[in-house]
Amino acid sequence: MRTACRLFLILAGMLVAARPAAAQVIAGVVVLPDGATPAPGVIVVASDARGSETARALSNARGEYTLRLSAPGNVALKALRIGFRPTIGPTVAVEEGKTDAPKIVLVADAISLTAINIRDRETCRVGADTGLAVTRVWEEARKAMLSSQLEKESAPLVAEWIEYDQRLDSSARVVRAQRVRTSRNPTNHAFKSRPAMLLDTAGYIIVENGEATYFAPDAEVLLSEVFAAHHCFRLAAPPRDRPELIGVAFVPSRDRSEARDIQGTLWVDRNTNELKTLEFRYTNLNEVATAAGAGGRVEFLRLNEGSWLVSRWNLRMPEVEARRTSTIGGRATVTATRPVLRAVQITGGEVTRVSRNDAVVFTAVGPRVVVQVIGSDSIVPAAGASLTLEGTDYRGVADAAGRIEITPVLAGRYRARLLTSLMDTLDMGPVTAEVEARTDGRVDSLRLPSPRDVLMKACPRDSVANGEGMLLGVVRDEKARPVPQGAVIATWVANVSVIGDGAVSDHLRYTEQSLGALTAADGSWRICGVPRQTLLTVRVVSDSGRDQQKVRLTSDFGPVTLVARRGTTQASRDMATALGTSRATGLVEFTVLSAEGAPLPDVSLDVKAGTASRTIVTGPSGKALLPDVPPGVMSVRARKIGFKPGELAVRVDAGRNTVPIRLSDAALPKLETVRIVGDRVELARHDEFETRRLRKEATVSITAEEIHTRNPARAWEMLMNVPSLRVIDQDTVVVAASTRVLVQSIQDQGLCYAVVMIDGIIKNPDPSKAGYDLRDLPAPDEIHGIEVFAGAATIPLKYGGTGQGKWCAMIAIWTK
């Protein structure tokens, strides 16, 4: 069972509310021991005759404070100043309205925490006994927590902070997902927890319906009487890297040893007596959750003008699931369930900026990610490379020196992805590495691949094994719009020789070779395997127009920009005349496959159309493009070492034509379902059907021609003799079931029904229920093709297969 996590906190933005009115007000001022200098950030406490606190206030920059009481009477005033013993102030008789209190002059009796012995005994009740060292440290922490809960009577603090949710991987190290929100409100409260009494009664973690709700303590909880009554306190030695700290550790008392409580430490600076952090963890969890650090951290900040606030906080909530494991020992197999860490969710916040009266009093200096990108060539330059941190919206771009800085960034380790525009264009995977957001200025280095490495990853290795390179670019029309599905062909002359005896009749013999590609939706294209230092003619033929350029590839990559111009201009007409394409011609796309259906590169195709002869070579995908073919019969001779050569005849129409050719080492080449497209537009689903049929990926593929030949009355009759498929005519319904798979279903007699998909839409996604009624299939004359995938392993992944719990069979219908 997986345990989900959520956090119960009332965030600071919800705390801004109107201050309740009070009929009795005490106003006064606090000054330093010199009797004149105002003392800001001092807590003034009013107590009644029984010693119970009735009001608290924090002095402002002028030392002024205002106490609001609910009833008149005599109250005793006390001033609490961090680093000093309490100052006992006057007793004031409070009447209706405003009462002015005498000036409170602070005592100069400093408290030294540096002399406190860490080995002092533990106490299960902190109180007013200043003889206990633990109480002295606790009181200093308490003053800071009280200050963080009070707001000065003057202009309030306006805090800006970020709230975030992070999800770490199962190693609890790397951020996999992150969501960040920004807030700005007039409050110094970062968050507010559940009331202390409820936490004491129900615990700090509640699990209901497999979901764990975590509760974090705020300052009000830590300062409450109920928290002090049910926790024991002791002094804690400082961490090795922070010797200036002294801690007050707290643990649940014995009566709460079985509860899901918290234990932790409040860390105070020995030299300044200032509270720095609260660290806590949850008790009575399993060892997996405990090892993952289930708990939290709160950091306190004292501003220069005396105010306190929570500057940073976070809570770690492990997601634990129960996994069943089997152990084979002897003749017995033991199955057990053990908890496993699935992920860790971290929720928290950080104050980034604090202001009062439009004056900035605090600005956070947060962690940052700094990366130096190293590039070895101008073709794959470091400048302009983009860096993203997985699972977040953090991103940065390298400057001219190849340096990327992302700040501010939440602390933690991230999986970085580095990509250049060329790598992105070639659909290459990014350079990945772990980086860490830090405050110490550390720089991580990431090296970009060399141009040759990029080429080897972007192209099939065989196509560039002999030093060949790549042409790439974008085709746009005269209005700078991308041209999709345009045919780009690179042509060059090879094998040049002189025939004759040196007389005038001597002539050249050569082979014209070509490589081609179709442009993508954004007009981009690339061609691998282009020879270097050879004059190339690069042309584009498309419905938007034509263009051609002469180029020479001198390095691994050669960018070519093509503009498809229509034949309406004189320049376009001149170019068409020069190419001999003044009349309508055809574009032929060859696809050469092996007998097993694999694409065959480096196949030489000797093409003769009319009186012209050309030789083109298939690229890495087994494809080759031939433009400007006059309509009529074209002969093609296919040659490749290891395969039997042969000649075929193909009829070409104006427009685009596809010519699939299959080669074998034992038989002559053959045309595999020649489709003369002409100027018609073929449906994409028909291309998918034909491709899978050529590769025999389905158990059975049925074409429109086969349906026409058999002439069935109903489409489902074509499925009667398909292997591993059983068609059941039940009078009221006709269904198909797999004979390879049975399901545990009494009412369905163990049948696993085949899923039916029509033009990519699944009709019955649950094969354990009643199957799709095959009588509802389209009419036979409306069907372009039928595919039957009789086993789960044969169903293409894009349609929902394969694997445990997936469909057992599928019938795919493609309409015309």
| Residue range 156-165, pLDDT digits in tens | 778 888 888 8
Measured distance CA(460)–CA(364) in Å, rounded: 51
The residues with which 78 forms a beta bridge, in sequence order, are: 45, 88
Q: Taking the C-alpha atoms of 525, 530, 535 and 536 in order, what is their torsion angle to the nearest 10 degrees?
A: -30
Q: What is the pLDDT of residue 155?
A: 63
Alpha helices in 273-385 (DSSP H): 287-291
Q: What is the pLDDT of residue 572?
A: 45
The answer, yes or no, to whether residue 682 has pLDDT greater than 70, is no
pLDDT grade, residue 44 (50/70/90)?
Answer: very high
More confident residue, 173 or 812: 812
More confident residue, 472 or 657: 472
pLDDT grade, residue 371 (50/70/90)?
Answer: very high
**b or e along 6-41 (b: 16 or more beta carbons within 10 Å of the residue's beta carbon)?**
ebebebbeeeeeeeeeeebbbebbbbeeeeeebbbb
The answer, yes or no, to whether residue 342 has pLDDT greater than 80, is yes
Phi (first) and psi of residue 56, to 5 degrees: -135, 150
Task: For strands 604-609 and 612-617, give the pairing.
Answer: antiparallel
The answer, yes or no, to whether residue 56 has pLDDT greater than 50, is yes
The answer, yes or no, to whether residue 260 has pLDDT greater than 80, is yes
Token pair belonging to 157: 């603090």
**pLDDT tens across 563-575, in order?**
998 864 444 444 4
The answer, yes or no, to whether residue 1 has pLDDT greater than 50, is no
More confident residue, 151 or 375: 375
The answer, yes or no, to whether residue 369 has pLDDT greater than 80, is yes
pLDDT grade, residue 394 (50/70/90)?
Answer: confident
Measured distance CA(78)–CA(76) in Å, rounded: 7
Q: What is the pLDDT of residue 111?
A: 84
Q: Dihedral of CA 238/243/246/247: which sign?
A: negative
Ranges 248-252, 260-264, 599-603: which has the least confidence: 599-603
**Beta strand spans in 375-468 (E):** 386-389, 395-397, 403-406, 412-419, 431-437, 444-447
The closest of 198, 318, 313, 209 to 259, measured between CA atoms, is 198
Measured distance CA(792)–CA(744) in Å, rounded: 17
Q: What is the pLDDT of residue 75?
A: 92
Question: What one-character DSSP code corresponds to residue 412?
Answer: E
pLDDT, mean of residues 727-740? 85
pLDDT, mean of residues 393-404? 90
Q: What is the pLDDT of residue 475?
A: 94
**pLDDT tens across 797-807, in order?**
777 755 555 68
Measured distance CA(350)–CA(181) in Å, rounded: 11
Of all residues in the chain, the percent with pLDDT exceeding 90 is: 20
For residue 420, count other CB atoms closer than 10 A to its CB: 25
**pLDDT tens across 429-453, in order?**
899 999 988 888 789 999 999 888 8
The answer, yes or no, to whether residue 581 has pLDDT greater than 50, is no
Question: What one-character DSSP code corresponds to residue 330?
Answer: T
**pLDDT tens across 498-518, in order?**
655 555 555 555 567 778 888
**pLDDT tens across 69-88, in order?**
888 889 999 999 888 889 99
Q: What is the pLDDT of residue 724?
A: 86
The residues with which 769 forms a beta bridge, in sequence order, are: none
User: Domains, the chain, ranges and CATH?
Assistant: 12-131 (2.60.40.10), 158-363 (no CATH), 369-453 (2.60.40.4130), 468-683 (2.60.40.1120), 691-815 (2.170.130.10)
The closest of 784, 785, 780, 755 to 770, measured between CA atoms, is 755
The answer, yes or no, to whether residue 263 has pLDDT greater than 90, is yes
Measured distance CA(586)–CA(630) in Å, rounded: 6
Phi (first) and psi of residue 222, to 5 degrees: -65, -30
The answer, yes or no, to whether residue 411 has pLDDT greater than 70, is yes
**pLDDT tens across 108-136, in order?**
888 888 767 676 566 666 654 444 678 78
Q: What is the pLDDT of residue 483?
A: 92
Q: What is the pLDDT of residue 747?
A: 47
The answer, yes or no, to whether residue 270 has pLDDT greater than 60, is yes
pLDDT, mean of residues 578-582? 45
**pLDDT tens across 288-337, in order?**
988 999 999 988 888 877 778 888 888 999 988 888 766 665 555 566 67
The closest of 396, 391, 517, 536 to 458, measured between CA atoms, is 517
More confident residue, 790 or 681: 790
The pTM of the whole model exceeds 0.95? no
% helix / strand / coil in the chain, to the nearest 5? 15, 45, 40
pLDDT grade, residue 791 (50/70/90)?
Answer: confident
Q: From residue 2, how far is each of 321, 322, 336 by CA, in Å?
A: 4, 6, 16
- Amino acid (1-letter code) at residue 745: S
The answer, yes or no, to whether residue 810 has pLDDT greater than 60, is yes
Q: What is the pLDDT of residue 499?
A: 57
Q: What is the pLDDT of residue 502?
A: 55
Q: What is the pLDDT of residue 587?
A: 83
Q: Please give the biggest Cα pair distance in the chain.
A: 132
Do the beta carbons of residue 702 and residue 722 sit within 8 Å?
no
Query: Which three-class secondary structure state does DSSP give residue 719?
Result: helix
Tell me the average pLDDT of the chain: 81
pLDDT grade, residue 580 (50/70/90)?
Answer: very low
pLDDT grade, residue 579 (50/70/90)?
Answer: very low
Do the beta carbons of residue 712 and residue 718 sit within 8 Å?
yes
Q: Taking the C-alpha atoms of 701, 707, 709 and 712 in order, what is their torsion angle to the nearest 10 degrees?
A: 130
Print the SS3 string covering 570-584: HHHHHHHHHHCCCCC
Q: Dihedral of CA 33/36/40/44: which sign?
A: positive
pLDDT, mean of residues 217-234? 86
Burial (CB count <10 Å: 0-12, 13-18, 19+), residue 165: middle
The answer, yes or no, to whether residue 19 has pLDDT greater than 60, is no
Measured distance CA(11)–CA(357) in Å, rounded: 23
Q: What is the pLDDT of residue 184?
A: 76
